[in-house]
Structure 1
Amino acid sequence: MAYGQHQSFYLRDRWLSKAIKQLREDSRFFYDKEAFEKIGLGKNMVQSLRFWVVATNIVEENTNEQRKKVHHITSFGDVIDRYDRHIQFNDTAAMLHYHLTTNKESSTVWYWFFNLLEETAISKEDLFSIFVKWVEETENKKISHKSLKRDIDCLIKLYTAGEDAQDPEEVIQSPINKISLLSEKNGNVYKKTPNSIGEVGIIALYYTLLVYCSQKETYTVSVEELINQHGLWGRVYNMNRNLIIQALHQLTSHAQYPILFTRTNNLDTVKIPEIEPISFLESEYSRKVKVYS
């Protein structure tokens, strides 16, 4: 697992599109000594951006024939770049958040906060203490508390920066901020905010469900899984049972890929069409962009 890889910088607006543009020209861009000048960011910000593009599944890190690290744009990243490179749609922000919170090895604190932490409202001090305890119980090696504190600070800023900031350097909202998953209460208490279907976006909900089913090699899930399973709606998007049921009813009427939602004897099951997540996303976004253009 990884800690403190973001260099204390939360993801900024337009960063992802800047990285994709450079990586299309040079898969070794992040190892170019002049990278910071080419992209117009500070050296530490460039290192931070390297973390963010991988953690959000926009880019994957590989090794070339010379055994040097390279970065290639994923199928997901390609779709986002072609249809919503500036993250204007809530669906896009929600899917970036989804990949961030299910990437346990790269973005550990996000995985822990949304999938494992049971508290829905907590002070920053208690949040840090619980995270430290979890890391010490999970890791065989000692992790710097300073690094873990930076993780907690960055997680909070990703969802709340710009809402009521006194620091002029923290007035810029991240592209993920728009889906309102975390809010600050009474100055030092942070609350996981229940999401509406509209804030997340029905495309994002269907996409994350398809990814989950593809990874598990099953096309049937239960409502209980959707509520409680790591990587699904209840955990990742703070959705309660009622919202999940509403979203499922909407997806039964999907024009091209309707789901089958069966409710019998308190055993609520959902059958998903066998479609590749990226194929679905390509279809939905091509139609969505036509509507908004």
Structure 2
Amino acid sequence: MSDSRLSEAVELSFGRHETFAPRFGWLHKAYMQVKHDSEIFHREDAPVLLGVGKNMVYSMRHWSKAFKLTKEHPHEDPSYRALIASPTWRARWLLDEEGADPYLEDTGSLWLLHWWLLSNDTEAKCWAPSWYMIFNLAPRSRVTSAEMTSFITRYVHENFEEKDWPAGESISRDVECMIKMYALDQEFNPLSPGSFEDLLMSPFRELGLLEGQGKGKERAWRFTNGSRSNLPAPVLAYACLDFAARSSANAGSISLARLAQDPGSPGRAFRMREPDLAKAIESLVSDHPDLQIVSALGQSSLAFSKAPLPLAWDILDAHYGRVREREGFPTPQEWTKKYPALDGNAPKRTRKKMPQQVEALDLIEEIA
């Protein structure tokens, strides 16, 4: 089960969500605060400013980074030991008050965020390794939460050095959080604080990706497959081209089989088989001058006549009303000029030891 590509795709970050799945309003609220204050997640009054409990502040920090809406980096002041955050350009594009969908009212935005969560791209690896492994590497079959935990544990043990292995409880918490995040038919646990709120507050349940079967200890989970009627074709096409860009930055093609089956592919992330994926993007492709589905030697491919990543953003931006053409909207270069640490050239600092009473999430973390 060893796969050298896994270490290239994910950061070993487990249990940072504090057991909370992302909730309605969290990402927009975090973006709006980070935009004005890079130290927001470390402020004593962060719970008041963000309107959540202290542990939820840590969770919001994690999810903002995991969805690639923030990038963390050292403070300009070397005496400031914790990593601070800058909002990414894609966060500006999606979540700003003048952005594409700040309150995530379009289900397509949730699919887009789900794609960003699982992706490893030029900006960052996947910061949710348990999610990556379950969606991209696990068999498409019914599993219990214990089996998901066991699967992730085995993959980690076979692909990473022992010194980097997380505690078993961290992986178990990831699985529990994943179920809270996606499952429509969860069982309410009256002994678990926040259990009822979790049933109501995760917008990603709308994707219909996970359903339960059975009850109690025998309860199992099945990741659904299908045509995904609430997944807009432009969002799917964006994901396909974004995935293709990792193979080539230039015009070309990619087989629908790869788009449906490869680890890290849209088919894996969205749980769509090749026929469903082809049918879902057919109408968009037929009307778009730079896209075409071609067949040769019994294999169908998505062909693109422009560089895939810029084309992906053109298609996505058009779906949301051409956000980038709105007055005052910054280019990626202008945004990086405003937040210089986003360019990846910020100096790295060595992890320093601190007293045990300091909150663990306030310690310096190594930057990838």
- Structure 2 residue corresponding to 1:3, chosen from 14, 29, 38: 14
Aligned length: 287
- Structure 2 residue corresponding to 1:246, chosen from 279, 293, 315: 279
270-279 or 231-240, which deviates more: 270-279
Provide Cα deviations, 1:167-201, integer angstroms capped at 9, x if missing partner. 42333231222111111112311011114242222
Q: Provide TM-score, normalisation by structure 1.
A: 0.90
> How far apart, in 2, do the equivalents of 1:280 and 1:190 lie?
34
1:201 aligns with 2:232: yes
For residue 157 of structure 1, what is the aligned residue in structure 2? Answer: 180
Question: Displacement of 1:286 after TM fit?
Answer: 1.4
Q: Which has the higher helix share?
A: 1
> How far apart, in 2, do the equivalents of 1:28 and 1:278 lie?
30
1:143 aligns with 2:178: no
SS in 2 for 1:251: helix
> How far apart, in 2, do the equivalents of 1:12 and 1:286 lie?
26
Q: Runs of 5+ in structure 1 lacking a partner?
A: 289-293
SS in 2 for 1:176: helix
- Structure 2 residue corresponding to 1:43, chosen from 54, 63, 83: 54
Q: Runs of 5+ in structure 2 lacking a partner?
A: 1-11, 191-195, 324-368
1-10 or 242-251, which deviates more: 242-251
The runs of at least 4 consecutive aligned structure 1 residues that moved more than 6 Å come to: none
Judging changes above 3 Å, is the alpha-carbon distance between structure 1 residues 84 and 108 closer, same or farther for their aligned structure 2 residues?
A: same
1:178 aligns with 2:201: no
> How far apart, in 2, do the equivalents of 1:98 and 1:146 lie?
26
Judging changes above 3 Å, is the alpha-carbon distance between structure 1 residues 280 and 271 closer, same or farther for their aligned structure 2 residues?
A: same
For residue 78 of structure 1, what is the aligned residue in structure 2? Answer: 92
- Structure 2 residue corresponding to 1:108, chosen from 118, 121, 129: 129
Tell me the amino acid that sits aligned with residue 286 of structure 1: G
CA contact (8 A) 1:35 1:46 kept: yes
> How far apart, in 2, do the equivalents of 1:52 and 1:118 lie?
26
Judging changes above 3 Å, is the alpha-carbon distance between structure 1 residues 105 and 202 closer, same or farther for their aligned structure 2 residues?
A: closer
> How far apart, in 2, do the equivalents of 1:171 and 1:109 lie?
21
For residue 43 of structure 2, what is the aligned residue in structure 1? Answer: 32
Question: Displacement of 1:144 after TM fit?
Answer: 0.8
Judging changes above 3 Å, is the alpha-carbon distance between structure 1 residues 164 and 143 closer, same or farther for their aligned structure 2 residues?
A: closer
SS in 1 for 2:131: helix
> How far apart, in 2, do the equivalents of 1:29 and 1:233 lie?
34
Judging changes above 3 Å, is the alpha-carbon distance between structure 1 residues 119 and 210 closer, same or farther for their aligned structure 2 residues?
A: closer
SS in 2 for 1:252: helix
> How far apart, in 2, do the equivalents of 1:30 and 1:161 lie?
30
Judging changes above 3 Å, is the alpha-carbon distance between structure 1 residues 185 and 254 closer, same or farther for their aligned structure 2 residues?
A: farther
> How far apart, in 2, do the equivalents of 1:217 and 1:32 lie?
42
For residue 265 of structure 1, what is the aligned residue in structure 2? Answer: 297
> How far apart, in 1, do the equivalents of 2:41 and 2:247 lie?
33
